[in-house]
Amino acid sequence: VTVKSDNVRASADAGQDQVVDEQSQVTLSGSGTDPENGSLKYAWKQVGGESVQLSDANAQDPTFTAPVVANGKIKILVFELRVADDNGFPSKDTMKVTVMPVNSVPVVSAGDDQTVDGGATVNLEGTATDEDNESLTYLWTQTAGPSVVLSNPTNLANGFVAPKLNADTVFTFQLIANDGNVDSEPATVNVTVKGTVVTPIVANAGKDQQVSEKSSVTLLGSGKDPLLNKLTYSWKQVSGETVTLSSSTIAKPSFTAPEVANGQTKTLVFEITVGDSHGRVGKDTVSIVVNPVDSAPTAIAKVKTIHQAQ
């Protein structure tokens, strides 16, 4: 008499639950055991969540690509694994995959490089995209060239007025977008401003002066610019006994003339430099001759003693 034992079912293990990033490749790690050491067959199916495509539903360890998830949300996918032995008796197990969102970095463009004339209005036209469709903020900054004033540095559409310059000059601008979490990679654009022939800045240190020692002297500097740019002033003493100017960065500083010995003079020479923010300058010098002040004579009284006869 042959006695056959009852078949013992194989056991299924769908693996541990997983937490994964959106759009990542996910591997389901299934396994099974059969006390009778028979061959096993695997069958996966999705029983919950947004549908995904398994690489091979009958493989022990199939893969799939996690779906896209909106920021602030999650998606839970549930999978069931059935494991059957040679006799076809299955067992099953389930596991879940939690899919998390990954913040997408914004992508920006600062537009095409430009070449313009001095005095022209330059339009900077940026663009930006974000796969998460989040609200973006923007920031333009200047990274090269003489400083200019941007009209709308926090807008995609921005601009400035090109200065008039003696030579071709490149201005570089950078655009960055932020989605509230991360900055985009910076994008740059170059604007070449063509040089034009312009009348130079005229510096005037004032007329030469004759002054008295110890007197207060004012240097009468001025400047003219045919382009009407804002001007800056810088004074320095180039010869003569050193004196202290009230300020070296105003048009009309003052100082106290030094003492001079009688019969002598002292000549002080000063240079003024007048410039604008674009590197254009003009220079001029002035001489100040310091004369002594004659001291008033001092009277010495002599007392004569008269002796009277007794």
Check if the beta carbon of residue 159 is closer than 8 Å to that of residue 123.
Answer: yes
How much of the chain, in percent, has pLDDT values that exceed 90?
A: 73
- Tell me which range, 83-92, 184-193, 226-235, is most confidently predicted by mean pLDDT: 184-193
- Non-local (6+) Cβ contacts of 142 within 8 A are 148, 150, 171, 172, 173, 174
pLDDT tens for 30-49 read 999 887 777 899 999 999 99
* Burial group, residue 304, by CB count within 10 angstroms (0-12, 13-18, 19+): exposed
How much of the chain, in percent, has pLDDT values that exceed 70?
A: 92
pLDDT score recorded for residue 295: 58
CA pair distance 286, 167, nearest whole angstrom:
30
pLDDT score recorded for residue 83: 95
In this prediction, residue 227 has a pLDDT band, given cuts at 50, 70 and 90, of confident
In this prediction, residue 7 has a pLDDT band, given cuts at 50, 70 and 90, of low
| Count of positions (residues) in the chain | 310
pLDDT score recorded for residue 209: 98
CA proximity to 161, closest of 147, 141, 176: 147
Locus of tokens 């919950």: 48
CA proximity to 22, closest of 112, 118, 132: 132
Residue 139 vs residues 126, 177, 187: alpha-carbon distances, Å = 10, 7, 11
Residue 163 has pLDDT above 70, yes or no: yes
Out of 13-22, 34-43, 58-67, 278-287, pick the least confident.
34-43
Q: Which domains does the chain have, with CATH numbers?
A: 11-100 (2.60.40.10), 107-194 (2.60.40.10), 202-291 (2.60.40.10)
The mean predicted confidence, pLDDT, of the chain is 90
